[in-house]
Structure 1
Amino acid sequence: MSDQRPSAPLPEVPAGPDRTAVVTVVLGDGRELTPEAAGFAAGVSWMPPSGAGRHTVRLTVTYRGDRPRDAAVRFTAALPGEPHSPPWWMVPGVFYGENRPADCQRVFPRFAMAGADHGAMVSDHWEFRADRAATPAVLGWSGPGGVALLADETTELGMTGLGFGHDPPTGRSHVQLTFPFREAPVSYDGSETAQPAESARYTWQPGRQVTLEFAVQRLDADRHGYAAVLRAEHERLARTAELRPWVDIPHAAELAAAGLHRWHYAEPGVLLETVAFDRGISGQDGLPVDRQAMHVGWISGIPWAYALLTHARRVGAADQSAAARRVIDFVCAELAPCGTFWGTWYRGRGWSGSWSPVPHTLHSRTLAEATQFLLRALELGADLREAHPSWAAAVRSNLDAVVARQRSDGALGASHHALTGEVLSWSGCAGLAWVGALAEAGRLDGPDGADGAYLAAAVRAGDHYAGAVRDELLHGAPEDVDLAPSSEDGYVAVMAYLALYRRTGETRWCDLARRAADWTLTFRYAYNTAFPPGTVLETYRFATRGADNASPANQHLHAYGLICTAEFGQLSSACGDPYYAARAREALACFRQFVARFDGDFNAYRGMVSERYYQTACFQPKGMLLTLSHAWSAGVLLLACEQALADPALCLPAA
């Protein structure tokens, strides 16, 4: 990672066509005028730059009209570079580069320099409300460098807007802040149907004066410069963003284990993916709403059975231990004809593929995550290895199969055919998940086993996917968003490269893990958004700091980042930098909210944990909570608690 270098001061807003920063007024009808032409006066003060080149800007706006007027104030900064230089964007948690690859099947906002199709959510300019962003910031690069704009989520004019665009006639690109926000050219509600553009309104009264404060920072050509910018902004925002965990770590572990065992465990040895808060629906104990299915990894299956087993062995809970072992036995008892795990079990029809419209598809990330946590289960004790020989056999079968399919350039494939083993897709970074499993298979990789083949394959794959990490272009890990970038891609990369570092001790893997962790943290909320009065999240004072936006396609808060709690602690130790462990503690503090403490708590049953917290206008109104308990949500909380209890650095109070 390159440190952000001091740069020449940005000038005050000048006059003329070549100005690099512009203040305009956006009227209620959408017209954009100079302040004077709209009846306003604007003054801009630039504070001296910090050592990193960050300027605090104070923009004072006075309305001189004689009658009330709806209007927004916009600050626009031009990007450097020659005309028509391709720009690259980041709105943390919301937009990355073009955002949606051209061949991605999931529809959500995409940037294109040409060929706009607003109905298909393709445009050369985008504006978003700030609460969609994990940090209220917009960053853009073009040619030799870039510009970052950073603001508070809300000012006295209302919620801030974050935007960027490319102007085809001039070939110039820019970033912008709008007070209050506008969403354009369309709004995204989580569906594949573009919603009408939205404009927040502020009515200026005659003589009204407002001072807005925000930051502007020059960036060099290294796009990873965002890391230093967002780290500094997190430090600023966190000072006033209180963490509000409901329970301590041991209590959270007890609750999550109880919920996973009581509500999600079911015969014939599965962890049901979702169960309803309301168990009385149709008088059938919630069965019409519960999802009678189990993925082998990802949203159910072995990772969370491993967490339950770890907890049960620590506290001596024989019933929870037996249930966890039964789940792992059930997954290992029947492999797909191609030699890997199946993707999903469904009650009534048994084992099947992953979530894909293509028959017999198995998704690499799901299979690899199951394999990696099965390896960890084998390391819990010799008694487990002796009592469950099918576990090691399943690991070997999975790893042997994927190594045999590895491409000459190191790629491991994103999806596979369950019957033939043919690699169906090489696109995206889902194959990176196999690196963690291969690197952790040391016990099975000796002369009497794979004889180093697993590590060799992990190294080749680690080198192959390193380009995606360096390009800030991780995407394709979850089954449900196709090739979209997602926070889960970041978790996969951190776990993969830390596993390689633990196995080899080579610093290059630690450097990649750190870079991937920085990218992951772009999805993590640095502030507490305010929820509408009377909503569930407002009533319970849910603090969003530490939660991750799932992805630009799935804009809701989730807890999956807890899966690499231990890795963030290990990264801090390896780098001598406490920052990553602190961000892991912050996430664990966040999700010690909304784990049901008793039957009836927030209308759930004891130990239930929701998957979705709606922090913006996407899928559901802001302030709502999904009233389903997810196996992975309870499981990942339990995993993080157990990992923290094993590492004193992760049990420190979150600042």
Structure 2
Amino acid sequence: MLLRTEHRGGLVELPYLVAITDERGVAAPVAVRGRTATPGGGQVLTGAAAGFSAEAVVSPPTPTDGPADDPGATPPAPGAGPVSHTVTLTVTRTAATAARAGLRVELLLGPTADPGWLVPGLFYGQNRLPDCQRRFPRFAPGTSDPAGMVADTWAFRADRCATPAVFARDRHGGAALETGEDSPLGLSGVGLSLGPESRPALRLHFPYREEPVVYHGSADPLPAEVPLHRWQPQERRTVSFRVHLLDADPHAYAAVLRAVHRRLAADRAPAAWVDVPEAADLTAWGLYRWHYRPDPPVLLETAAFDREALGERGDRQAMHVGWVSGTPHAHALLRHARRTGRADYRAAATGVLDHIAENLTPAGTFWGQWTASRGWTVGWTPDPHRLHARTLAEATLFLLRALVEERRHGTDHPTWEHAVRSNLAVALTAQDTAGNLGSAYHCRTGQVLSRAGAAGLTWVPALVEAAREFGDPTLLHAARRAGRGYAPDVHAEFLCGAPEDVDLAPTSEDGYIAVMAYTALLEADDPTDPTAPGVTHGTAGAAADPELWLDLARRSADWMLTFRYTYDVAFSPRTMLGRYGFRTRGGDQASPSNQHLHAYGLVCLPEMARLARRTGDDYYLRSTRENLDCFRQFVAREDGDFDAYRGMVSERYYQTACFQAKGMLLTLSHAWSAGLLLYACEAALDLPDLWGPA
């Protein structure tokens, strides 16, 4: 039975039916006093305490990965796989006086030293390593340091979550609690705690609680928020949630999130404002008109919406070589220019790529960033000599792709090839015996300054595609060594270090580069799709392992999709996002540190589409379609559209209370936001299953 059940050899326990919480967070448990079995293995639990009565109707167990909400489903055999119960909880105020109170649902697991917490998009294990330079909520057993945002107990509002759910595991099995964003008591919440007996407690709150402090994007937290509902005598409210019983595999969350995604997909119209060709035309114009500067040729990272008030003072006079500007986006503009015959776009794109390729560090790599005031610098890293691996590797990959594209049209760029080869040579020199390619390098010597995190995984697709283009199997062998070297991070479900500004903490961007890396290796070692750009025919040797790469590609894709919203957040109609009807399903939380939606997932759209085609996995295809669909909203269709200018695309959509108020839109156009949407649209034009009728 659900109250106290042995699952996978471990203990899953509801310690009480529901707890009634007050302003101080004191929880008065409503113990189970009555229990009635229902056909198929369900039950009805009842109890009363603290002036309230409660009744929970618990459904029979159903397979988590089976058809959602199928009343005719056969109950699974014990231990046959992950199972789920739907719980409908009705609470009534029985006392003669009104009271302000909230509800807490709690699920306890067995003792463990590592609960493996997962709140999709929001909390991953300890959530940040101790040496991480960014400060945001971190889990540490037996710790209570609210000012430092380190604690063993946390609670969050539901709209911070890509899926409002909390997962944990003990030594024998795992479980999850899942609910919706809103309830009859207001915005819902999720929580986690490891008590003195080292038993993970998974929690849901109605309404939400944020404690011990509130993270709002700053290193200085705000006081806890504990909204309560005012109950009138005889008032009755009903909330619902699901309990998922899993095995102890850290990857067991995937079946639950697939089921949620499937369940919430029904009767949902597309969100996009414009079709794919129009989005490509708009973003190409936006890059060229608002971000391109010819002297020297750069793509400025940001352009302010408000040109009259701010003018160029509102624009960031800087360009990264990869990541938030530079080669990925110049490559996209070049590809669009070739397709549409725009000579002006092509001249701008090649000028930017020339400028980047012609300016290498003494070590032989790209610089990290160009700025109008200081020229070429290392970027946003704290050490003035420290270059970030992901920025360099992404620049190398997309310059290589631009070179291949140009050669296909009969034009060569020897300077581009030299720059690609020079960067790859530094990466090869940096690779250690375990396959690690380094996360940071000295700009003058190329010496590896750090191997922490998985930023070096970004080199893998560049190595694979260079092996094909240059006919050099040693590059593929290095990519395979790296793929094996970073595999433990994928299996640990904790990838970190991809963005320059968030070190040693998990981000959605770590998921994107893992998908790109392992899909490239899969296509190299199992070239069943000859159109895939990562295919390296004839070089698969003894080290080839397509089954390993397929497993790691799927694990990476599943982990990446934990950041993707499965539902549409409810916005006030008075806000910008509410007024325009912004739909959040398909958008990604940037990271637990940067809690806003962003479009960077479009960088791996071609890889996700090819992985979906190779595996026949409809979940991957639909999630990728929704990602492209989501960010064809808020592309300025004309001057004045949402106070922007034609072709401008914002970086941040505030779906929760972090940095700005929920429902606001960052009023800056970003080169990468326009550039990656352009890149994805150009790719999707060759992939009609991503943008045709569903």
- Deviation digits for residues 554-609 of structure 1 (CA, Å, limit 9, x no counterpart): 00000000111111110011112122121111011101100000000000000000
Q: Distance in 2 between matches of 1:313 and 1:423?
A: 38
60, 69, 81: which one pairs with 1:48?
Answer: 60
1:27 aligns with 2:55: no
Q: Hey, what's the Cα distance between the residues in 2 that align with 1:568 and 1:653?
A: 18
1:635 to 663, 675, 691: 675
Corresponding residue number in structure 1 for 2:8: none
Matched position secondary structure for 1:552: coil
Q: 3-state SS of the aligned residue for 1:379?
A: helix
Partners of 2:639 and 2:266 in 1: CA distance: 34
| Partners of 1:433 and 1:493 within 8 A in 2 | yes
Which of 458, 468, 489 does residue 468 from structure 1 map onto? 489
Q: Any conservation in 2 of the 1:510–1:574 contact (CA below 8 Å)?
A: no
Matches of 1:244 and 1:383 in 2, distance apart? Answer: 35
Quote the Cα distance in structure 1 between the aligned partners of 2:273 and 2:297: 31
Q: Deviations over 1:181-208 (max 9, x none)?
A: 0011111000001211101221111101
SS at match of 1:357: coil
The one-letter code of the counterpart of 2:507 is: S
In structure 2, which of residues 464, 467, 470 is the aligned counterpart of residue 442 of structure 1? Answer: 467
The question of 1:270 aligning with 2:282 is answered no
Structure 1 residue 443: Cα displacement: 3.9
Q: Which runs of 5+ in 1 are unaligned?
A: 1-8
Q: 2:4·2:14 contact (CA, 8 Å) conserved in 1? A: no
**1:419 equivalenced with 2:444 (yes/no):** yes
**In structure 1, what is the Cα distance between the partners aligned to 2:673 and 2:113?**
43
1:135 aligns with 2:155: no
Matched position secondary structure for 1:351: strand
- Opposite residue 353 of structure 1, the aligned amino acid is V
Of 199, 204, 208, which aligns to 1:172?
A: 199
Q: Contact between 2:306 and 2:644, CA under 8 Å: does it hold in 1?
A: yes
Deviation at 1:532, TM superposition (A): 2.0
For 1:512 and 1:19, locate their aligned partners in 2 and report how far apart those are by CA, in whole Å. 33
Q: 2:338 aligns with which of 313, 326, 331?
A: 313
Is 1:457 equivalent to 2:478 in the alignment? yes
Q: 1:385-424 counterparts in 2 under 5 A?
A: 386-424=411-449
Q: Corresponding residue for 2:622? A: 582
Contact 1:241 1:527 in 2 (8 A): no
- 8 Å contact kept, 2:497–2:505: yes
Letter in 2 for 1:48: P
Corresponding residue for 1:523? 563
- CA deviations 1:77-135 (Å, max 9, x no partner) are 0013xx35321100000000000111111100000012331110000011000000001
| 1:647 Cα offset (Å) | 1.3
Match of 1:616 among 613, 636, 656: 656
Instruction: State the match for 2:50 in structure 1.
Output: 38
Give the aligned residue type for 1:115: T
CA 320–295 in structure 1, closer or farther in 2 if over 3 Å, else same: same
State the distance in 2 between where 1:487 and 1:308 align.
Answer: 24
Residues of 2 paired with 1:212 and 1:241: CA distance? 23
Q: Secondary structure at the match of 2:92?
A: strand
Displacement of 1:649 after TM fit?
Answer: 1.9
Paired residue for 1:368, among 393, 407, 421? 393
C-alpha distance in structure 2 between counterparts of 1:44 and 1:444, whole Å: 62
- Provide, for residues 469-526 of structure 1, a one-character-per-residue CA deviation record: whole Å limited to 9, x for no partner: 1110111100011111000000000001111112121232122111100001000001
Cα deviations by residue, 1:430-487 (Å, 9 ceiling, x for unpaired): 00001111111124542xxxx4221111111110001101110111100011111000
Q: Give deviations 1:208-261, integer Å, cap 9, x for gaps.
A: 111211100111010111001001011112226543211111001100101011
1:549/1:558 contact within 8 Å kept: yes
How much has 1:67 moved relative to structure 2?
A: 2.0
Q: Which amino acid aligns with 1:453?
A: T
Task: Establish whether residue 85 from structure 1 lines up as the match of residue 80 from structure 2.
Answer: no
CA contact (8 A) 2:102 2:228 kept: yes
Q: What is the one-letter code of the residue matched to 2:669?
A: S
Give the AA of the match of 1:533: P
Q: Counterparts of 1:93 and 1:309 in 2: how far apart (Å)?
A: 33
Asked whether the 8 Å contact 1:242–1:528 carries over to 2, the reply is: no
- The residue type paired with residue 20 of structure 2 is V
CA contact (8 A) 2:403 2:412 kept: no
Residue 189 of structure 1: aligned partner: 216
Alpha-carbon deviation of 1:37? 3.5
Report matched runs for 1:193-592 at 5 Å. Answer: 193-239=220-266, 242-267=269-294, 268-281=296-309, 286-382=311-407, 386-446=411-471, 451-505=472-526, 506-592=546-632
3-state SS of paired residue (1:175): strand
Letter in 2 for 1:523: F
Deviation at 1:21? 4.1
Alpha-carbon distance between aligned partners in 2 of 1:424 and 1:228, rounded to the nearest angstrom: 39
One-letter amino acid matched to 1:438: L
| 1:496–1:200 CA distance, 2 compared to 1 (3 A) | same
SS of the residue corresponding to residue 56 of structure 2 reads strand
Q: Distance in 2 between matches of 1:420 and 1:108?
A: 34
The one-letter code matched in structure 2 to 1:10 is L
CA distance in 1, matches of 2:124, 2:589: 13
Structure 2 runs not aligned, ≥5 long: 6-10, 31-47, 65-82, 527-545
**How many Å apart are 1:406 and its aligned residue?**
0.8
Contact 2:13 2:109 in 1 (8 A): no
User: Per-residue deviation at 1:384?
Assistant: 6.3
Q: Report whether the alignment pairs 1:62 with 2:54.
A: no
Deviations 1:589-637 (A, max 9, x none): 1011000000000000000000000000100010100000000000010
Equivalent in 154, 158, 161 of residue 186 of structure 2:
158
Q: Which residue of 2 aligns with 1:146?
A: 174
SS in 1 for 2:288: helix
Give SS of 1:224's match.
coil
RMSD across aligned positions (CA): 1.7
What residue number does 1:11 align with? 3
Q: CA deviation at 1:318?
A: 1.0
Q: Give the partner amino acid of 2:644.
A: A
The amino acid across from 1:198 in the alignment is E
Cα displacement (A) at 1:386: 4.2
Aligned residue pairs: how many?
Answer: 634
Secondary structure in 2 aligned to 1:433? helix
Quick check: 2:293–2:299 contact (8 Å CA) kept in 1?
yes
What CA distance in whole angstroms lies between the structure 2 residues aligned with 1:438 and 1:607? 34
Q: Measure, in 2, the Cα distance between the counterparts of 1:67 and 1:370.
A: 66
Amino acid at match of 1:257: A
CA contact (8 A) 1:595 1:607 kept: yes
Aligned residue identity for 1:573: R
Alpha-carbon distance between aligned partners in 1 of 2:659 and 2:267, rounded to the nearest angstrom: 28
Per-residue CA deviation, residues 55-74 of structure 1 (Å, 9 max, x unaligned), is 00111111112222111111
Shift of 1:172: 1.8
**Which position in structure 2 is the counterpart of 1:102?**
130
Aligned-partner SS, 1:230: helix
- Over the matched positions of the two proteins, sequence identity in percent amounts to 55
Residue of structure 2 equivalent to 1:5: none
The letter of the residue matching 2:249 is: D
Could you list the per-position Cα deviations for residues 514-561 of structure 1 after superposition, in whole angstroms to 9, with x for gaps in the alignment? 110000100000111111231100000000011000000000000000
One-letter amino acid of the counterpart of residue 193, structure 2 = G
Q: Is the 8 A contact 2:652 2:665 kept in 1?
A: yes
CA distance in 2, matches of 1:181, 1:242: 29
Cα distance in structure 1, aligned partners of 2:282 and 2:234: 56
2:147 is matched with 119
> For residue 625 of structure 1, what is the aligned residue in structure 2?
665
